[in-house]
Each structure stands twice: as C-alpha cells, then as structure tokens.
Amino acid sequence: MNIEELSKAQLILLTILVNFVTSVATGILTVSLLDHTPAYVTQTVNRVVERTIETVAATAPAAIVQAPAPSNQDLVTAALGADATRAVNIYALETGTSTPIASVGTYLPKSRVVATASRDILPKEALIEFPGGIYVAASLAQAGEGITVYGFADNASLPKVTPPVLITASNLKLGQTVLAIGADGSASTGIVARVSEGGIHTTLPDIGAGSAAVDLSGNLIGISAGGTPGLLIPANKITALLTVSSTPAT
C-alpha cells in the first residue's frame, strides 16, 4: 500500500505505532546495556534519576488542603457558648443572694459594664454573679432609652471573656438568625421579623427582661425589653448610652 494513499486517521495511528515500538525498543536496549555496564555507571544513572525526581517534587506546588466550612449547628453552638460566658445575674448588694435575682444582664468586658433592661426593681448598688460562681459588686452608672448600665470599681477583678461586637439595628436583615439564652437558662432560636423605631421584633419567645440576643457570630444584637415576647432593645442604644456616660462635660 502506498503511504500517500493513507487517510489522516491512518497516518496518526501509524505514528503512534512507530513511537510505541521505538519506546519499547529503547527500553529494552537501555536495560540490556545497563546489565553489561560496570556497577559505578549504574549507580551514577540511579543518582541522576533520584535527583531529577527530587527536583521535580520540590518545585511542584503543594496541594492546598482546605478545612471544611463550619456547619450551621457548629455556628449556633459556638454563638450560644459565647453568649453564656457573658450572661450574668443581678442581685441587690444589701441582701445578696439571700433574695431572688433582681434581673439578668450581659457583661461587656471591653467597657467593663453590665447592661440590662431598665426596671423599677433594679437596685442602685448591685452584686453581679458571673458564670462560675464569681461575685463582684457594681453600681448603677447610667440609665436611659430602656437600658440600665452597671459599672465596676477600677480595681475590681473581672472575668476575662471575649468581647462581643454591638450590632447596629440598621445593619440587621429580615430573616437573620437570632439566638438567646433565657433567664431560666434555656436556649432559643428565632429570626429578625421586623426592625422599627420601637425596637427589633423577632420570633424569639419571652427570654426575660435583660437577656441578650446574639447573631451566629456571637455578636450582640440587643437585649430583651421584657413584657413583649421577642421584642429587643437594639444594641446600638447601649453604645449610645456608653458614649454619653464616657464623654466629659464641657
């Protein structure tokens, strides 16, 4: 058969066949030659092959192993755990723990204060119970916009916990997940249903006045106003109150 009469496909197959036969013949010839060469030549060839493999392996990009993204359950558990470390009970300093708690609140370590919802039964001098059975005296420092803030003495030794970011109400989105630990210690989940001038409306149950509500990152969204289930006082009102109390008079 004349090679000029072959089609393109037949030419490609012929080329592959020739390359295959050549490779096999080259391999056989190489092995045969190595069998008849001195030992030092074989060792030199092996070293060259090993160095070549090491060089290629060193320059090859390492495989990037990405950690799996945390599941929604992991986020909820971590956020509630962070919220629990900041949840406190507020007692009247005069009677201490011999009487029921006056309210619950949330500890803001960066500002060294405890924020809670304003109520008539709140004492001016309080005993704050932190998780782990730690008790520290505090005094009412500021009140307004439905928020009451207790401050501590400068030399008071306070627990070290991760400070939350206080989320502004305008940054919340409808349907955003809201988490809370109620005054009775039970965990609740809900969503942001509406944000208005009256506060943040959520689908949370009645978690008790002063209880904190957080997002999936454990950041503070607001605290329960009490009375109306799911109604939160925005965290930015706490920020505003702290800003006023820390600004010197002119």
Question: For 207-221, what is each residue's pLDDT tens digit?
Answer: 999 999 999 999 999
What's the total number of domains in the chain? 2
Query: What was the pLDDT predicted at 248?
Result: 47
Give 72 or 56, the one with higher predicted confidence: 72
pLDDT at 146: 93
**Single pTM value for the model:** 0.70
Whether 49 and 90 share a structural domain: no
User: pLDDT-derived band of residue 13, with 50, 70 and 90 as boundaries?
Assistant: confident
Residue 2 lies in a domain: no
pLDDT of residue 245: 60
Query: Computed from CA positions of residues 217, 219, 222, 224, in that sequence, does the dihedral angle turn out positive or negative?
Result: positive
Q: Who wins on pLDDT, 24 or 93?
A: 93
User: Is the same domain home to 21 and 130?
Assistant: no
* 18 and 85 co-located in one domain: no
Name every residue whose Cβ is closer than 8 Å to that of residue 222 and which is 6 or more positions away in sequence.
169, 199, 200, 212, 213, 232, 233, 234, 235
From CA 142, how far away is CA 165, in angstroms rounded? Answer: 20
pLDDT band at 250 (very low <50, low <70, confident <90, very high): very low
In a domain, 238, yes or no: yes
Residue 67 located in a structural domain:
no
Q: Report pLDDT for 249.
A: 41
What's residue 106's pLDDT? 96
The domain of 130 spans 72-246
Are the CB atoms for 79 and 217 separated by under 8 Å? yes
Mean pLDDT for 89-102 is 93
What is the average pLDDT score of the chain?
A: 86
Percent of the chain with pLDDT over 90: 64
Token couple for 79: 């956020």
Smallest Cα–Cα separation from 216: which of 186, 182, 244, 175?
175
Inter-residue contact 76 to 202 (CB < 8 Å): no
